[in-house]
């Protein structure tokens, strides 16, 4: 599989829609447990349909996201990990749900692995080992790996997000974990972004939204692109206000009138 498939004008303009348990809360905030599979698929379907002309690729989950995209005009990533994480002595452990081979057989052009990471946690070696194993499996199956690192624990130790992201990234590289693409948090400022680009050398990195508002993400993206990021994989910052609308028709109107314009904006920032 080619990484180039996910790019437009050599940049990653990608939609993140692999949310699972959390996505039900955007449909029914009071009783997410009452949301049916059909409702989740229908809501994901209208998001994809509203934005397909704007994204160069999309990240999906196999259970709801994949059925929501039957036309499959654009390449898609599928996620390897179980939703959420398990707790081990207060630390977060990523659990794998699918093999790379299984996702390839589902038609994915690449795979995504989310790793929760605290560079000072006792479980850091376990998380690194999981990442290494998946990277080897992805290479064996000729599948690009998008590795997403979500840091935690910095606030308790009075550390900045920038320090935590940079320290985490250095540990992955020291462990010789070099995926095709790193999907990373915004590291506080332009200096943090520039340091990421320098550390990674020729490995591309793209920005995730982590649920910030669209206005905040737009500014973060502009800084990151200027400092060497090669695109984005954007989710909730684009569409999270869908929770304010009740009917499919109302949601579609919001997606077409607001979210599509947002995607066009961040595309323009990335391709400038």
pLDDT band at 1 (very low <50, low <70, confident <90, very high): low
Query: Is residue 135 situated within a structural domain?
Result: yes
Average pLDDT, the chain: 96
> Could you write out the three-class secondary structure of 59-82?
EECCCCCCCCCCCCCCCEEEECEC
Query: Is residue 89 situated within a structural domain?
Result: yes
Residue 95 sits in a domain whose CATH number is 3.20.20.70
Mean pLDDT value across residues 129-156: 96
Question: How many other C-beta atoms lie within 10 A of the C-beta of residue 32?
Answer: 14
pLDDT of residue 89: 87
Query: Is residue 6 situated within a structural domain?
Result: no
Provide the residue range defining the domain that includes 32: 12-271
258: DSSP letter: I
pLDDT tens for 161-201 read 999 999 999 999 999 999 999 999 999 999 999 999 999 99
C-alpha angle 195-200-206 in degrees, rounded to nearest 5: 85
Query: Is residue 143 situated within a structural domain?
Result: yes
161: DSSP letter: H
Query: Is residue 179 situated within a structural domain?
Result: yes
Query: Is residue 7 situated within a structural domain?
Result: no
Residue with tokens 């290479």: 139
The tally of domains found in the chain comes to 1
pLDDT at residue 157 is higher than 70:
yes
pLDDT tens for 67-117 read 999 988 999 999 999 998 998 888 999 999 999 999 999 999 999 999 999
The whole model's pTM is what? 0.95
Query: Is residue 4 situated within a structural domain?
Result: no
**What span, in angstroms and rounded, lies between the C-alpha atoms of 46 and 56?**
17
């Amino acid at each position: 599989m080619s990484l180039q498939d996910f790019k437009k004008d050599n940049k990653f303009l990608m939609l993140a829609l692999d949310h699972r348990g959390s996505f039900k809360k955007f449909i029914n905030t009071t009783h997410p447990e009452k949301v049916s599979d059909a409702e989740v698929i229908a809501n994901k379907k209208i998001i994809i349909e509203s934005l397909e002309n704007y994204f160069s690729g999309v990240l999906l989950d196999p259970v709801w996201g994949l059925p929501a995209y039957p036309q499959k005009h654009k390449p898609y990533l599928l996620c390897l990990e179980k939703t959420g994480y398990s707790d081990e002595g207060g630390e977060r452990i990523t659990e794998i749900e699918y093999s790379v081979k299984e996702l390839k057989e589902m038609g994915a052009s690449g795979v995504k692995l989310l790793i929760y990471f605290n560079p000072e946690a006792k479980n850091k070696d376990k998380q690194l080992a999981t990442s290494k194993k998946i990277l080897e499996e992805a290479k064996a199956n000729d599948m690009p790996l998008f590795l997403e690192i979500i840091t935690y624990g910095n606030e308790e130790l009075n550390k900045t997000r920038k320090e935590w992201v940079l320290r985490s990234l250095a540990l992955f590289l020291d462990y010789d974990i070099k995926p095709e693409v790193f999907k990373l948090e915004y590291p506080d400022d332009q200096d943090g972004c520039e340091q990421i680009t320098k550390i990674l050398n020729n490995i591309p990195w793209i920005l995730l939204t982590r649920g910030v508002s669209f206005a905040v993400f737009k500014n973060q993206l502009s800084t990151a692109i200027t400092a060497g990021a090669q695109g984005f994989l954007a989710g909730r910052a684009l569409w999270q206000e869908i929770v304010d609308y009740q009917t499919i028709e109302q949601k579609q109107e919001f997606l077409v009138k607001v979210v599509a314009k947002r995607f066009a904006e961040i595309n323009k920032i990335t391709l400038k």
